[in-house]
Every structure is written in C-alpha cells, then in structure tokens.
Amino acid sequence: MGLEFKLDLPSGTNLKAGEEKEQLFDLAIVGGGPAGLTAAMYALRKQLYVVLISPDLGGQVLLTRGVENYMGYQYITGPELARKFSAQVRQFTLKLAQGESVTRFSQDGKGLFQLVTSTDRFITARSVILATGKRSRPLNVPGEQEYLGRGVSLCAVCDGPFFKELPVVIVGGGNSAISAALDMLDLGSPVTVVNVADGWQADSVLMDQLRDRVTLLDAHKVTEIHGDKEKVSGVKITPRDGGAERTLDVRGVLIEIGLLPNTEALAGFVALNARQEVLTDCFSRTSRPGVFAAGDCTSVPEKQIIIAAGDGAKAALAAHRFLKHIPD
Ligand SMILES: Cc1cc2nc3c(=O)[nH]c(=O)nc-3n(C[C@H](O)[C@H](O)[C@H](O)COP(=O)(O)OP(=O)(O)OC[C@H]3O[C@@H](n4cnc5c(N)ncnc54)[C@H](O)[C@@H]3O)c2cc1C
C-alpha cells in the first residue's frame, strides 16, 4: 500500500534509531490514513508530544484514483489529497516512525502504553489512538490487481459514479453489493450481480427493490478480469456447480465481498466486535482507558474519508481531555 507516495518531511522529524528509548510521548498514533493524520494535526495543535507510526502516509486514499466527495474539492486524486493531509501535519513538529507498523501493544504497571514496531522499536506513550483502517477483501483472480483503478474497484460507494451509464458487474451478495447495484441502476448502468457465495445474504427489503431490474447470478465464480491494458472490457464467470464458463462484457467490476479491519495485532488489547472492528463509544474511547480509536478500524458505521478524518479529530480531542484530566 502507498508505494507510489513518499512524504518529504523536513529533516529532524523522523525518529532516529534508539531515540524513542529516552522519550515518553503524550500520544502514539497508530496509522497514517485520514484518521491518523487528522488526529495528529489536532493533537499537535494542542501541543501534545506525538509520535505517529505507519507503513505509509495516506492509507487507502493512496489507492484511490479520484475523490469527489471530500468537502472543499470537487475532484482531487487520492495521492494528491494524501499529500495535502501530510503537508498540513508537516507544519508542526511530530516524531514519525514511517515504514513501520505496530506489531504488539501492552500496558505496564504505571499505566504507560508500550508499542513494539516491526523494526523492534519500543515506543512508550501516555495515550494511544488506533487508526489502522481496513482493507477490502480482494477476489484474488487474474486481472484484479492489474486493472485496479482502471475498471476494478474495491469500493463501490467511492467509485460507482465513475461508471455512470456504463455496464458493470457487481461481485458480492450482501447488503453492500446490493446497495451498490441499486446505486448503479440510479446512475443508468446496466447491472449484473454475481454472488460468489451460495445464497444471497442481503436483506430481503433490498433484494425486493432489485429483482427484475438486474441480472442476478447466484453461486458463481469469477475466474478472470480482462481488458485492453488501459481499461476493463469483461469478466469470465462459471457456475460453482461446474457449468460452462461465460464472459460478461462490462466496463466496471465493483467488488463488494467484505472488509477486513487491520486489527489482528489488537486482539486482547482492546475489545473488538464480531467483525473484528475496535469497539468505540461516542467519545472515541475503546474498552481500555487511555486508548482511543478512529476511522475504518472502528465500529463506526460508513467507511469514508470525511468520516475517518472527523473521527480522527474527535479521538485527538478526547485523548487531550484524558491527558489533561478534563471531564467529558
Ligand atoms: C479503492 C478505494 C477508493 C475509495 N474512494 C473513496 C472516495 O472516493 N471517497 C471516500 O470518502 N472514501 C473512499 N474510500 C474509503 C476511504 O479511503 C477510507 O474510508 C479512509 O481512507 C479510511 O481512513 P482511515 O485512516 O480510517 O484508514 P486507512 O485509510 O485504511 O489508513 C490506515 C492506516 O493505518 C496503517 N496501518 C495499518 N495497520 C497498521 C499497524 N499495525 N501499525 C501502524 N500502522 C498501520 C495503514 O498503513 C494506513 O496508513 C476508498 C477506499 C478504497 C479502497
């Protein structure tokens, strides 16, 4: 994720080897997407001593071709928006462990949080914001990676409007997939929905709105996504029971087969829900006092940039209140 994007931070802000050992941070922010970067900006404006640990700066925004629903920009590319977020954080001095991820979380007897990174760096902080985001579950079929952003989308809410009036296939059988199909119908696209599982999982109220308006193909496998190198031209599918392969001529492949929160390292540290998302209350508090969470890794509904950014702001203000003992 984010290989195309490098943050040009002023010298002196990157955490040097061993430097973290002598330091106690007010706040450690884990994740450099919209939630983490916005949290950093708010915390730094509150003059907290902040370290941000993240493999990349931008998160999923780096994977987004174009954004039309972040206020202030009628259209902006994902990498450009990520660059603007980073530049805003850069106005302040923070310590950055870029290119690293946190692999272990614990709390010592004095209540301080100990974070171990992928390079075995030990970071100690008085509070933590978890902003590790999520990743869309991929199909893992030939052509998917090659055409990502050129016809293949892992976020129908985000990219659907780019396929207005063009034929699309929506892959999935749950509420997200069926909602995406309804949205695409509203945009005048001919829609085929291919369920890679056996049986539709979407609510019947949604399915009822869809029937007779789209082609519904239950229990199929997508075997390949192909195109002319520049854009998608079709997908190959076969029935799961072994029938003949066929090709659907489409310009868009919207994959909605679930989300995977990046919370594997958090199990046992904070409470997660059944979807493995960090449970938060309306003050962005997790089950562990002093640990806050924001954005797509949390149980907050709707996964969007503006929501993650707002959530990051809220978490930073909550962490500040916690550190200064200000009652909610
Ligand atoms: C293809 C695509 C297109 C999209 N288009 C739009 C759109 O047009 N409009 C819109 O509003 N939303 C869009 N979204 C959704 C939007 O990008 C997300 O909702 C938003 O990025 C969530 O922000 P976040 O900071 O919570 O998480 P993320 O953006 O996922 O960032 C999480 C960060 O945490 C880091 N991280 C993960 N694990 C660790 C760890 N263990 N230690 C340290 N760091 C870690 C990641 O590397 C990343 O930097 C799109 C998503 C995708 C995939």
Ligand 1: residues within 6 Å at CB? Answer: 1, 30-36, 53-56, 59-61, 63-64, 67, 69, 101-102, 131-134, 136, 153-155, 158-159, 262, 265, 295-296, 303-306, 308
Catalytic position from the list 8, 26, 108, 158: 158
Asked whether residue 240 is assigned to any structural domain, the reply reads yes
What was the pLDDT predicted at 63? Answer: 78
| Cβ neighbourhood burial of 110 (10 Å; 0-12, 13-18, 19+) | exposed
Q: Which two tokens stand for residue 43?
A: 């915390």
C-alpha 59 – ligand 1 centre gap (Å): 4
Q: What is the pLDDT of residues 246-288, one digit of tens each?
A: 999 999 999 999 889 999 999 999 999 999 999 999 999 999 9
C-alpha 3 – ligand 1 centre gap (Å): 14
Pick from 60, 75, 266 the residue to mutate for probing ligand 1's pocket: most ligand atoms within 8 Å of its CB: 60
Catalytic position from the list 159, 296, 297, 311: 159
Asked whether residue 128 is assigned to any structural domain, the reply reads yes
List C-alpha distances in Å: 51 to 109, 138, 293.
22, 31, 15
State whether 198 and 179 are in the same domain: yes
State whether 176 and 312 are in the same domain: no
Number of domain units in the chain: 2
297 is catalytic: no
Residue type, 192: T
State whether 236 and 264 are in the same domain: no
C-alpha 322 – ligand 1 centre gap (Å): 26
- Do you know the residue count of the chain? 328
Backbone angles phi, psi at 183, to 5 degrees: -60, -40
State whether 189 and 247 are in the same domain: yes
List, edge to edge, every strand of the sheet that includes 246-249: 220-227, 232-239, 246-249
CATH code of the domain covering residue 111:
3.50.50.60
State whether 309 and 170 are in the same domain: no
Residues 6+ apart with CB under 8 A from 85: 34, 37, 38, 57, 58, 61, 309
Look up tokens 């950055």; give the residue: 96
- Domain range for residue 228? 152-255
Domain boundary among 198, 227, 255: 255
Domain boundary among 195, 220, 255: 255
Catalytic position from the list 26, 56, 155, 296: 155
What was the pLDDT predicted at 175? Answer: 85
State whether 246 and 263 are in the same domain: no
Other C-beta atoms closer than 10 Å to the C-beta of 17 total: 8
State whether 264 and 279 are in the same domain: yes
* Angle at CA of residue 213, ends 208 and 214, nearest 5°: 100
C-alpha 36 – ligand 1 centre gap (Å): 10
C-alpha 310 – ligand 1 centre gap (Å): 13
State whether 84 and 219 are in the same domain: no
State whether 68 and 168 are in the same domain: no
The single-letter DSSP state of residue 296 is: G
What was the pLDDT predicted at 2? Answer: 31
Asked whether residue 317 is assigned to any structural domain, the reply reads yes
Low-confidence ranges of the chain (pLDDT < 50): 1-12
Residue type, 235: V
Residue type, 71: M
Contact 326, 306 (CB under 8 A): no
